[in-house]
């Protein structure tokens, strides 16, 4: 009698899961309507758009170069200046400032990483290693 009760309980649980799964699947398909959208056409201006790098902030460049002229050991200013050039996709200029910053502080991981990426973008991948 005890074995029959256990078998009956397990069969009931399995049956309950199956019925619940079937009912849940039917309700999910009924409650979420299929949304179709018309394909979007590109305008002639949108086809030639490419992502442009941000414009170099000349005022910020002047401030940072003044700081560096007054204190040539200012690593943070050199890294910030290099980052401005990097963000404006002027990688050759960024490389010079990253190298100058790393000459003072070789342990600056951010400058080292960005220098490597700048080398990569200027087709100098061998120097990035």
Q: How do residues 53-83 score in pLDDT, each as one tens digit?
A: 788 889 999 999 999 999 999 999 999 999 9
What's the pLDDT tens digit per position in 27-54? 766 655 555 555 555 554 555 567 777 8
The mean pLDDT value of the chain amounts to 84
Report yes or no on 18 lying in a domain.
yes
The reply to whether 29 and 64 lie within a common domain is no
Q: What is the pTM of this model?
A: 0.59
* Residue 95 main-chain phi, psi, to 5 deg: -60, -45
Domain limits at 16? 1-33
The reply to whether 66 and 123 lie within a common domain is yes
Vertex 56, ends 95 and 92: CA angle to 5°?
Answer: 20
């Amino acid at each position: 009698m005890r074995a029959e009760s256990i078998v009956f309980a397990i069969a009931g649980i399995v049956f309950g899961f199956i019925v619940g799964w079937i009912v849940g699947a039917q309700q999910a398909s009924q409650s979420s309507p299929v949304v179709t959208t018309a394909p979007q056409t590109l305008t002639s201006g949108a086809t030639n758009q490419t992502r442009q790098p941000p414009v170099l902030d000349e005022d910020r460049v002047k401030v940072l170069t003044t700081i560096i002229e007054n204190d040539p050991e200012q690593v943070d200013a050199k890294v910030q200046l290099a980052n401005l050039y990097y963000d404006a996709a002027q990688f050759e200029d960024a490389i010079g400032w990253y190298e100058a910053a790393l000459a003072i502080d070789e342990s600056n991981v951010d400058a080292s990483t960005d220098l490597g990426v700048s080398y990569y973008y200027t087709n100098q991948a061998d120097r990035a290693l």
